[in-house]
Amino acid sequence: MSRVRNFQLSQNWSWAQRDTQINSVLDQVDGWNAAQAYPSEIHVELLKTGAIPDPYLGFNEHKVQWIGKVEWLYRCTFPFSADVEETHALLEFLGLDTLCDAYLNGVKILASDNMFQTHVVPLELSALKSENVLLLHFKSAHLLAKELEAEMGVVRAGSTNLGDASRVYVRKAQYDWRWDWGPELMTCGPYRPISLKTFNVRLEEVYPQALLSDTDVPTLKVDITLAGRLDSASSLRITLSSADQVLKSQDVPIATNLSLLGAVSWNLEGAVEPWWPVGYGPQNLYTVSVLLLDATGQTVDSSTTRVGFRRVKLVQEPLAEADQYGTGTTFFFEVNGVPMFMGGSNWVPADNFLTTISPERYRAWLTLLRDGNQNMVRLWGGGVYEPDVFYDTCDELGILVWQDFQFACGVYPAHDSFVASVRKEAEDNVKRLRHHPALALFCGNNEDYQMVLQWGDVKDFPAVKIYEEVLPDVVGTLTGEQPVPYHRGSPYGGKGWDTADPTVGDVHQWNIWGGKEYPYHDYVKLGGRFVSEFGIPAHPDFRTIEYWMDGAPKPKEGEEGDSQWHAQSALMAQHCRAGSFERRFAILMNEGFRVTEDLETYVYNTQLLQSEAVGYAYQVWRRKWGGRGKEYTSGVLAWQLNDCWPVTSWAIADYFLRPKPAYYTIARQLATFSVGVMRTVIKDRNNDRPPQYYEFGNFQSRGAMLEIWGTNASLTARAARLEINCVDLKTTWTHTETSDVTLLPNQATELLAIPCPGPPRDVAAPLPTGDKEFTTTYSVVVGVRLLDKETGVVLARYADWPQPFRFHAPAVLRAAGLAVEVNGETVTVTVERPVKALVLSAVGEGEEVKWSDNALDVMPGDPQVVKAKGLGGRKVAIAFLGREKAKVL
């Protein structure tokens, strides 16, 4: 009896631009080039041959737009030797981007128009020869989209920086049409593997359900579907193992049915342990193997799947009492019976060229997220369903996955053929992903409901059929006895699809930076039950800017010329796609920082702005995780974790995985223990300025109040000592006080509310106005620490600085008595005066340093120790508020 044979078509590929002068693509002889990558995308091949410039550099993106408007051919030749016992054959295409006709030995076998589908094409064995040719003809998705738009009508879809609206008609990654953080690069090619399988009988589908009951009893159920001739197989051997240890095994006879629902159902109480998200317990994973055996006990086919036993619920129930928004309902994730605060970020594809993202690069990104104390990643709906390695890595690292279906910011159609295509797309991907313990939610779309409400002039929203009928039906039907939660869209919540209702569902908070353009201190007033998007852009690491500048000449000192090395240059704009970014940056930057013409200083200030704003949002929203019945805000996901090319964006780490200061600020806010401070200024009259700002114009402050709270993500209470250290930036006055506190488990705890200490009036420096009747706290930095009551170990620290930062003289900020001691890969920082946002960087060439912490607020008497993995004897450069240009120590 022959085994299933699986031939990866991974060699002998070539590609060519289609010659439109030749009627049939089968007849093209000239123009072929050997493919240098597999799987393959045409831009990558053109780059490797030097036929196009790198679109990630300079203005080169504009030089490659022609690629998406022509047709391309791929060809693979492969041998085949028949086995006389085999009766069946198929070709499996895991991903074709996007419009593709496939020909085997001159016969058309497939017409694909959906990038997100898996295609299994049955073959007659007679169709295979000793030497075979598979030809793939890729047509222009761009041109098809415009043709369909002309046929079906122009609809609303995002804005001009979210790609051409015709994109909604084609099932291709929407960001390929351009987004407000990515370039317009219309890719095509066999971007995922292709294989030939021959067999008599095979395992067509294996679905192991690793269940955990409400009483924490683990159960394994395995559903199996066979294909081919049942008389060629006798039994199934199903085994559950942990590492090299077999925990349970059973042989199941095969009768006359190709579908074996519940082939086994095992109670595993005492034999396995639950899978937990990071921070709550170990990520226990087990392997389910299935062997298809013939009558002699020989293996015909096999399958292995890794599972974890857990239960995930999305809890939407009435709150016990109202908060500032009213009552409404919760929106929190409960894993294995434990309500959990979700802190994380949004994921966009890590490259416009998907085939260049290696498994190691996926792991590096997700490890960065995990090491930043984040426990959830949201896969945004304008990209792709990522390959298996992404979800496998999330399982291993304990990162929960919020998975959008691939619809974003548009009015999508719902004609019969489109709905049928989407249904198959959903089925393919739900079946592929449903066994992952990390999978916490399927979501219907990104911002489609929100856009329709904002526009107000959309008369027909046909895709409601998809989001409210097709997708929930697919998820509910295919995800078994403990269905994966489904959410219609993000954001989605209140009556009449109200996507901005803070009391129901999730919200995207874009009235800061975009929308109403409020100051970022208003995050405290603009939250919701779950904030699944919000953010502030920042420039990337300066080395990333140097990369995209691609050798653009720098001006000499004092020289005026057509230099691109300034914040408002055309080349800097080429690598910043955010809508109205010039005005929006100007608003927030001018409110907080001194105006500068120096590019390096400006870059640092944007990073500090992002760090302060995003960190503040995490802080004030996590404060609203108030315990049972008071889950007022249950999750915060920053927009966004990553970039798809070198760019200025909302990402907290740039294209090269270089974290921005915001990454470290978020990590501190999401640590097991954190401490927060809210300073509310008492004004001499009511006004609309944020409560953190000191105004020296018509309005002046008479003092300030401090509210201090702590958060504890562990499931046990923690006794701690609260220490407050106040330092005046303008005088030598200091103040210290301590108190004993208890941090309640799995929630925020209000600790203290006191007037902000300040120097006596006869000690305080005069106000800029010369008026002494007002506050003396406007120049006081309030440093707060939580220390373990028994050991004195610092559990959390935070420094609240008076704002805006532009009021602090650089000379005062530089007089910090800063000392940085480097001992191998350990860096110790001490100061005599407060230092704001100290950024450490390595000098010279070498591996990328992994800093355990960075962008530090350092207080006197509180040394901070940072691990610098990979520093390798290099010197360290420092930058901080007041000395924003990096200086080598």
The distance from CA 546 to its chain's CA centroid, rounded to whole angstroms, is 25
Peptide bond into 198 cis (omega under 30): no
Look up residue 701 and give its two tokens: 């402050």
CA 744 – CA 711 distance, rounded (Å): 8
- For residue 132, the cross-strand partners are 78
CATH number of 341-404+491-662: 3.20.20.80
Give the single-character DSSP code of 468: I
Name the superfamily (CATH) of residues 671-808: Immunoglobulins (2.60.40.10)
Please check whether the domain covering 809-889 is classified as CATH 2.60.40.10: yes
CA 480 – CA 474 distance, rounded (Å): 11
User: Alpha carbon of 247 to those of 208, 241, 250: distances in Å?
Assistant: 15, 5, 11
E-assigned strand segments in 368-495? 376-379, 400-404, 439-443, 486-487
- pLDDT tier at 772 (50, 70, 90 boundaries)? low
Residues constituting the chain: 889
Q: Of 98-102, 148-152, 700-704, which gets the smallest average pLDDT?
A: 700-704
What is the per-residue pLDDT for 487?
A: 97
* pLDDT tens figures, 668-683: 999 999 999 999 988 7
Domain spans of the chain, in order of start: 5-197, 203-307, 341-404+491-662, 671-808, 809-889
Look at residue 142 and give its three-state secondary structure.
helix
* pLDDT tens figures, 576-620: 999 999 999 999 999 999 999 999 999 999 999 999 999 999 999
Topology adopted by domain 203-307: Immunoglobulin-like (2.60.40)
User: Alpha carbon of 752 to those of 294, 528, 657: distances in Å?
Assistant: 72, 24, 39
3-state secondary structure string across 538-582: ECCCHHHHHHHHCCCCCCCCCCCCCCCCCCCCHHHHHCECCCCHH
* pLDDT tens figures, 263-296: 999 999 999 999 999 999 999 999 999 999 999 9
pLDDT at 136 over 70: yes
53 versus 684: the higher-pLDDT residue is 53
* pLDDT tens figures, 418-454: 999 999 999 999 999 999 999 999 999 999 999 999 9
List residues with catalytic annotation: 447
Q: In the predicted model, what is the mean pLDDT of residues 413-419?
A: 98
Q: Are 843 and 889 in contact (CB under 8 A)?
A: no
CA 100 – CA 191 distance, rounded (Å): 12
Residue whose token pair is 């090619």: 189
CATH number of 5-197: 2.60.120.260
What is the per-residue pLDDT for 231?
A: 87
Phi, psi (rounded to 5 degrees) for 521? -65, -15
CA 45 – CA 33 distance, rounded (Å): 9
Q: Angle at the Cα of 183 (from 569 to 656), degrees rounded to 5?
A: 85
The arrangement of strands across the sheet holding 218-228 comes to: 201-212, 218-228, 259-267
Output the pTM of the full model: 0.96
Same fold for the pair 5-197 and 341-404+491-662: no
